[in-house]
Structure 1
Amino acid sequence: MGPDDPMLKNYTHLMTLTAIALGAEPKLAEKEMYEAMELELKLVNFSADDMVRRDPERGNNRFQLWQLKSHFPLINFEQYVKTVFKGLANVSPNHTVIIREIEYFTGIQHILTTTPKRVIANYVAWRLVQGFSPFLPPTAREPFYQFKANQTGMFNSAPPDRWEDCVTLSVIMMDMPVGKLFVEHFFERERAMTKMQELTGFLKGEFIKQLHVLDWMDESTRRRAVEKAGMIEYKNGFPEVLFNDTWMDEHWGIVIKPKEYLLHLTIRIKLARYAEELMRLGQPLDRTMWYQSPAQVDAYYAPNNNEMIFPAGIMQFPFLTLGVPNYITYGMVGAVIGHEVSHAFDDQGGRYDELGNLND
């Protein structure tokens, strides 16, 4: 794909319009956003495709921090890592670092050292603005909707209402406080939790029964599969700590300032969450943690913890409807549970053992 490709022209046009909306001079914006797009195109050329990246073993490249200088002499990883963790956790040159994309960093280090700093700064600024595009005024967001329509051909698709954006952002950014409100006011806790435990327990047992009678699986593999299936942890509904006021105040005692812009508040929340994550360096793994809001309508399998997460948001109509025949319940939420269980043994999840360690 070259710079004259219609999709890239559409992308560059979006970049230019956004820069102009933020105050850039049109001719200069057109020139500099084109240069930023060219830089991104060079970076993309070193990126592996999705199928290659699905292999978790390929990305498990362990180095001690001090070793990275000899592998990537043009990137000062040690300074970068220490800057990121400054004031949050102690980092030594002997700390282990996992580099998921060796070929990528090998290639881009030369690009970064030969590209003008202004081009790099413009590209970083663009990606930052792109990431926060939902916070732009309606007129500045319009080019993003047009870009999506041009890329997908869906010209009659209406952009989401502002209230939908607000709800989505609230659930993602304030996952636990919003989750608590949802569980308190809209979730039939006792009945739904009891039914979900019944469903997950039954399907787990049936899956293990099927493993015992498979005629194409050797005994060694069967034993490991049964052990892993038996140790899958099911996190249903919400974490118990959700109703611990001390914990909630400690982790979510963020005070909204008078007349504070939503963007500023969002950045403060993101920084606080990132700091919490970084401060866990060197700490024992907390398997009770949830990384998703109880209010979200979703379900997923986490291979590195060997656990299934079914938030309260999915434990309601139309997936889990209390009082209906079991065949409806198993056809709706049972299908979701079975689908997620299969991820524990697919081409990615199957590379992790019963404890969530990468161990094919």
Structure 2
Amino acid sequence: MKNLLLLLFALLAFASCSKQTLKNNVAITGIDSKLRPGDNFFRYVNGKWYDSVPIPASQTGVGAYMFMNYPQRIRLQGILDSISQSRNPIGSPEQKVADFYASGMDTVRIDERTYKPIKPLLAKIETINDIPSLMNFVAGEAKMDNSSIIAFGVSPDDKNSSRNIAHTYQTGIGLPDRDYYFKSDSSTVAIQESYKKYIATLFQNTGSNAEEAKKNADLVYDIDKQLADSHKTKVELRDVQANYNKIAVTDLVKRHPNIGWADLLNNLGAQTDSLDVGQPAYYDTLNTLLQTIPINNWKIYLKANTIARYADDLSKPFVDAAFEYTKVLSGQAVQKSRGEKMASAVDNYLGEALGQLYVKKYFSEDAKKRMLILVNNVQKAYAVRIDKLEWMSDGTKQKAKEKLFAITKKIGYPDKWKDYKNVHIARDTYFENVVSAAAAGYERQLAKLGKPVDKAEWYTTPSTVTAYNNPTANEIVFPAGILQAPYFDNNVDDALNYGGIGMVIGHEITHTFDDQGAQYDKEGNLKDWWTKEDYKKFKSRIQQVIDLYSTYTVLDSLHIKGDMTVGENTADIAGIAVAYDAFKMTQQGQDTKKIGGFTADQRFFLSIAKIWRVKMKDEYLRLWINNNPHSPPVWRVNGPLMNTSPFYEAFDVKPEDKMFLPMKDRIIIW
């Protein structure tokens, strides 16, 4: 009876998927037919493009994925240029984004003010004379989106996902990650020196002489390094259990007398009797350093932090100093245009106001409807795959499917837009506009403390080219920004859409069941729902992913960090597998007809290679490897396809091909 029900379910899933009609047959061009697909599929599909496309001087890379946000910002700039020339009703989304943008474009006014906007803050730092006054300043700045030595936020409780609680995290460093302070290779040393030079320049721009500025920069770097020594590594941060530490405020007061948690929380406006202290070792160290580092040194540190926080919002010398550091870190050759920067700033501070305008112009309801069909079909295919797993028991399978079908799907844009009524915008005060938007964002967050979680809230803007899985809400989110070619096109055939956005959908669903997501139940609570034996088998397969990806060389002798990227790599492997299964449920997936010389299956896999078509500078690639939890784009293609048997069949991959893995070594998790 059970098998009969499963068969009926599969047939119903097939029926619902197969109703999709074929769309326009888009030709696939640029294939390098001199290469064997099984040697390097990324190069086979993208090599000609890769070898000929220039990286714009103002960018660190070009192509799909996150680099599509560059043309997105140009689109947004077009919207902003248009509405900033119009009269807009006071308080309307159009007025706020237009005036914010116009104020940021007025570089003459910004340059005239030099660093006057932050002089009151620097003067306030000068009045600090003890630890309580230091922490009072830190709290005030935290409310303006300046974390300095305290990173505070409000979000769902990992073990009671229906309620919002207070969280704190490790912070306090200026380099991208703790490891940058402890490496001695030439590229890292160059970044260290560039960072010190940047801090010194900021001090010179605010009146220090060169000798004093260098001395201050060295002092700041030393404090940074002491704080960094307490930081968890990026791999350690993946342990969701170890990074959940809900502690009573009364206990924290005793544990950290120098931090003064009771007064700090009061100054933050946070009424709570407990905190989730993500990384307690950081706050243990901070508590000690507050006592051992002289107050005058802390004042210099806070000045550096404050100037750096606002450098891009001040006059040209500050903006230029920030860019010189960025150039060494990422390889970006020249600064982005002012219009692109301001489009990004508006999106950052007033993202859903701008998003309303973007969606009206660039995202259709028909696209949203088709996208929902794609998501539903991939979800159905995932259930079938779970039922077929040989390593998982029936009881765990049932719970996995319950979690799968409890996923909330958000597509395009929020049902309820954020209200920016507390953000005060004027066309001639860019700095104050930034501060007002940041303060309003903090107050919006603080208002959630102790309240039920708003399941309708989004954590990215509609125009951003991204997608995400939120484990505490058990939701997957696909903003309008990613719902465009090459990921999704409402006018192309299923093969391209399932190979494109279908893989992304499968990827995001898999985050529900990756090394982190698998520890949350269907309600989004950090709670064990596995049998011990099943979880042991699951972890062994996760280790296979870590081991395989750790063998991939990216740049010189630099390897992918398999243990840091395991969640994303797992999602890529399973994402392709389930997207393929969903595609085979469609009419085109069952057809043998060729389009432009390629079978439907081949078009599916060609689409996968195209959505990760990216070229980036070596400096940025090095930054990526050290900090990004995703593998570089070439391995988001070749890595998972090496583990995808239908790919071998579609392109006749042979044992002598470089991408060939014996069947016994191909990883199947979901």
TM-score (norm 2): 0.49
* Matching residue of 1:209: 384
**In the alignment, does 2:527 pair up with 1:349?**
no
The 5 Å alignment of 1:1-360 reads: 1=181, 5-85=189-269, 91=271, 95-152=273-330, 154=331, 157-188=333-364, 190-242=365-417, 248=419, 251-252=420-421, 254-260=423-429, 262-360=430-528
Quick one: distance in 2 between partners of 1:353 and 1:285?
A: 16
2:193 partner letter: K
Question: How far apart, CA to CA, are the structure 1 residues paired with 2:314 and 2:522?
Answer: 45
Contact 2:379–2:405 under 8 Å retained in 1: yes
* Structure 1 vs Structure 2 CA RMSD: 2.0
Instruction: Give the conservation status (yes or no) of the 8 Å contact 1:319–1:333.
Output: yes
CA contact (8 A) 2:422 2:440 kept: no
C-alpha displacement of 1:31: 1.1
**Quick one: distance in 1 between partners of 2:255 and 2:487?**
50
Q: Distance in 2 between matches of 1:259 and 1:186?
A: 30
Aligned equivalents of 1:347 and 1:275: distance in 2? 34
One-letter amino acid of the counterpart of residue 515, structure 2? D
SS at match of 2:513: coil
* Contact map agreement 1:35 1:119 (CA 8 A) in 2: yes
The CA distance in 2 between the partners of 1:195 and 1:2, in whole Å, is 50
Counterpart contact for 2:412–2:483, Cα < 8 Å: yes
Partner of 2:577: none
Match for 1:175: what amino acid? G
Q: Give, in angstroms, the shift of residue 225 of structure 1.
A: 1.3
Q: 1:14, 1:147 within 8 Å by CA — same for their partners in 2? A: yes
Partner SS state of residue 241, structure 1: coil
Q: Is the 8 A contact 2:312 2:322 kept in 1?
A: no
Q: Secondary structure at the match of 1:236?
A: strand
Distance across 1 between alignment mates of 2:492 and 2:329: 43
Alpha-carbon separation, structure 2, partners of 1:323 and 1:31: 61
Q: Structure 1 CA distance, aligned partners of 2:267 and 2:461?
A: 30
Post-superposition offset of 1:73: 3.2
Closer/same/farther in 2, CA of residues 169 and 108 from structure 1, 3 Å limit: same
SS for the counterpart of 1:98 is strand
Distance 1:203 1:42 in 2: 48
Deviation per residue, 1:70-95 (Å, 9 max, x gap): 3223321111011101xxx6x25xx2
Q: Do the aligned partners of 1:234 and 1:309 also contact (CA within 8 Å) in 2? A: yes
- Identify which of structures 1 and 2 has the higher relative contact order when contacts are C-alpha pairs closer than 8 Å and 6+ apart: 2
Q: CA deviation at 1:253?
A: 5.4
Q: 1:332 to 1:8 in 2, by over 3 A?
A: same
CA deviations over 1:83-112 (Å, ceiling 9, x no partner) = 101xxx6x25xx221111122222221112
Q: Distance in 2 between matches of 1:277 and 1:180?
A: 21
Q: What do the CA deviations read for 1:110-136 (whole angstroms, capped 9, x no partner)?
A: 112111112212222322332333223
Write the letter of the residue equivalent to 2:312. Answer: P
> After superposition, what is the alpha-carbon deviation per residue over 1:172-215, rounded to whole angstroms, capped at 9, x for unaligned?
11011101111112221x21111110010000111111011100
Using structure 1 for the length normalisation, give the TM-score: 0.90
1:45 counterpart letter in structure 2: D
What's the offset of the Cα at 1:220?
2.9
Question: How many Å separate the matches in 2 of 1:305 and 1:32?
Answer: 45
Given that 1:175 and 1:293 are in contact with CA atoms closer than 8 Å, whether structure 2 keeps it comes out as yes
C-alpha contact 1:65 1:77 (8 A) present in aligned 2: yes
Q: Give 4+ residue runs of structure 1 displaced > 4 Å after superposition.
A: 1-6
- Tell me, yes or no, if the aligned pair for 1:177 and 1:252 is still in contact at 8 Å: no
Displacement after TM superposition at 1:165 (Å): 0.8
Q: Following the alignment from structure 1 to structure 2, what is the Cα–Cα distance between the partners of residues 13 and 145?
A: 12
- 5+ residue gaps in structure 1? none
Q: Distance in 2 between matches of 1:2 and 1:193?
A: 48
Instruction: State the Cα distance separating 1:237 from its structure 2 match.
Output: 1.0
Residues 221-250 of structure 1 show CA distances to partners (whole Å, capped at 9, x for unaligned) of 2222111111111111112223xxxx74xx
User: Deviation per CA, 1:137-165, whole angstroms, max 9, x where unpaired?
Assistant: 3333223333233345x3x6332221111
Alpha-carbon contact 2:312-2:318 (below 8 Å) kept: no
